[in-house]
Amino acid sequence: MNISGVLVHAYPADAEAVRDNLLKLPGVEVHGISEKGSLVVTVEEDDSRLMADTVMKFQDLPGVLSAAMIYHHCEEDDDTRQQPGKILNFQNVSNAESGPEEASR
């Protein structure tokens, strides 16, 4: 799962319409809008390329002046971590299996 934080700048008069258009895109949430037209947005997507494509679409929305990814986090799901042939860091694996008490030692 990929999660990105994006700061979108829009013309203040268009900020509400920009929000509505952003919310039409899959995986997009708008968390706040300022009086000056700044929008705090997150995008969640399993595929990093699709996430990047979604963020790039922000630039094409009417009223958007700019969109900048300011945060990105990627988590592997359990299936990805257990693929055969994948190199594992055994220290992290043993800490994760032993529970939070052991991992903090």
Going by pLDDT thresholds of 50, 70 and 90, the confidence category of residue 102 is: very low
Does residue 94 carry a pLDDT above 50? no
- How buried is 27 (Cβ within 10 angstroms: 0-12 exposed, 13-18 middle, 19+ buried)? middle
Strand order in the sheet with 64-74: 28-33, 38-45, 2-10, 64-74
pTM: 0.70
Contact criterion met (CB below 8 Å) for 25 and 39: no
pLDDT (0 to 100) of residue 83? 54
5-58 pLDDT, tens digit each: 999 999 999 999 999 999 999 999 999 999 999 999 999 999 889 999 999 999
Domains and CATH numbers, the chain: 2-74 (3.30.70.920)
